[in-house]
Amino acid sequence: MLGKVFGIMCLISILFASLSGNMAELGGAVFDGAETAVTLTISLCGIMSLWCGVMKVLQGAGAIGFFSRLISPVFRLFFPDAEKSGEGKEEICACIGANLLGIGNAATPLALSAIKKLHSDHVRKGGAADCASRDMITLAVLNTASANLLPTTILALRRSAGSSSPFSVVAPIWICSLSCAFLALILTRALGMKKGKKG
């Protein structure tokens, strides 16, 4: 789908550039954009590698398990099935930790791993294989509307773009991300309970 959208955008750009006589400017913009994309990717690669490595070290050192026990009361409320079975619990906690550090690229594979374990447990308990459990839905929503205490990726992007004060957005990000995460958890839990009563 995204490929089609970008393809249409490229065709429209070429059409308007040819009609307005700006094909040379379009060609220059393409080369400049490609160069900027490569430079940005390389600059982000370092910070992403650092934090992905930190997450692996924390996981190996047992810090994720400690974090899991620390948030157990909240975890029990929003992920009751995972708390009972233990399936996917460590991956969910690692995913939450990665999101708190603002490294969504590291959180995504952890979330996918957790979803696989939650799905296997859901099917094993007699749930439909083509339906998501409440825990799976909650994790998907929380991974999308995640809280960020240290927005690493955004800070790296602002720094690479030449911002004079890349950390000035931290406080607004805390307010927005924590509000979104809290509201997402409350809504998924409330709607899950409502569906459970109807079922």
Which pTM was predicted? 0.65
pLDDT in tens, 69-115: 777 777 888 888 888 888 888 888 888 877 887 777 777 888 888 89
pLDDT in tens, 21-58: 888 888 888 888 888 888 777 777 777 777 777 777 87
Residue 71 to residues 22, 65, 66, 195: CA-CA distances in angstroms? 57, 10, 9, 26
